[in-house]
Chains A and B, each alone.
Chain A
Amino acid sequence: VALAIDASSPALATAPTATTPETATTASFTPPASSLLVVLISSDSNSATVNPSYTVTDNLGVHLTYTQRVFAASTDTPAAGGGAAIYTAPVVTSAAMTVSVTTTSAGGGADTAAQVQVLTGGGTTPTVGANGKANITTSGTAVSCSYTGTGAGSWGFSAVSDWNATGTMTAGTGCTMIGTAGTFTGLISYGFPRRTSADGTVGGTITLAATLAAVSTAKHIAALEILDPGGAAAQIPTLVMARSI
């Protein structure tokens, strides 16, 4: 499998001050050329009726282009405080850089956590596949969402926010919790589960999941599939002609 998480991936960065706007900046890292940055964001919002908004940038002279791929917003149905989003940015040239995520929420409450993963594809920039998201307001500790895989050997990543701030999350089945944000009691809790391995399949149901420390009624999860550039994508029927002589 060519798709891999690169060792240059920086640690989780968090801004936990309960003000707005708030900016979380990663430590300096140097992604290789032809890699893909996957920026996982989990944040607070002032309420279930106020969406957080995100600005993603870097300290390069010429900034990379960050594209929002999925956003589980406060005002999605069912409405819930907090938010989770995933952005991606292709890296053409390798250079030392930091990535900053600024969250704004009208009325205050923009605690932010940003987890950047650097994906490589054996010299070819990985691309983006399917995505999924969910707002969950039923009382419980489980958070999950699924998407239908579009590439063999694809990798799934997700961002989770818990507006009830119940504490440290653990990974769900088949997932690994990267960059655990720890306990943000009184503010918001964050988690970033990814699939433990690049186990995506074409047409398969891929689930990203986390378990909260305690019961919550305001949870978000956003998930994104990253495709292996060397993997088999959804097959297009090929016309085969044969004749006998």
Chain B
Amino acid sequence: MAKGDPLVSPYVMTFGDYLQDSASDVDPTRPAHAVQIRVSFDNTTHVLTGAVVWRSASCLWHHIVCGVGADGSPNSSAFSFDLTGLNDATRNITANQLGRPPYNVDTIDQFLAVQITAY
């Protein structure tokens, strides 16, 4: 992959908390003290095909949030994935769900049009 090459599915982001320690991770693709989102899409059309969110039981974070709210803070954005109750577990979000409120995104380009963080 070189600069300017097209996006390739999936698009993965992992957010660690202050206790994250790579040396103690059993699975580096799903580290302890972290939450993760994996967004899948068609490489040609960029249409979303679904997303999977994951949270380690020890992580401080419970939300992966896209965009910011009216006050400029990510905490007030409605475009948020609630990971509450996930303990070393995943949750699937279908493309149909992503296309409806509060997400309203149909393509990876729309998904990447806003900032992303966790809390």
Contacts and interface: CB of A to CB of B under 8 A. Distances in A.
Contact of B119 (A7, A27, A181): A27
Nearest to B13: A182
Nearest to B38: A182
A179 B33 CA distance: 10
Contact of A5 (B1, B18, B28, B117): B18
Query: What secondary structure prevails in chain A residues at the interface with B?
Result: loop
Q: Which range contains the number of B residues in contact with the other chain? A: 35 or more
Interface string A137-174: 00000000000000000000000000111111011000
A181 B13 CA distance: 6
A81 B4 CA distance: 12
A13 B117 contact: yes
Contacts of B61: 11
A176 to B, nearest CB: 5
Contacts of B60: 7
Interface stretch (A14-22, A67-75, A227-235, A236-244): A14-22
Given A177-B16, A181-B13, A183-B13, 19 more contacts: A7-B18, A7-B60, A9-B18, A10-B119, A11-B17, A13-B115, A15-B115, A16-B115, A22-B115, A27-B117, A170-B28, A175-B22, A176-B21, A176-B23, A177-B22, A179-B16, A180-B31, A182-B36, A196-B22
User: Closest 8 A-B residue pairs measured CB to CB?
Assistant: A27-B119, A182-B13, A13-B117, A11-B118, A11-B15, A15-B115, A9-B18, A182-B12
Interface of B: 1-8, 10-18, 20-23, 28, 31, 34, 36, 60-61, 65, 68, 72-75, 112-119
Interface of A: 5-7, 9-17, 22-28, 59, 81, 98, 100, 117-118, 163-168, 170-171, 175-183, 185-188, 196, 214, 218
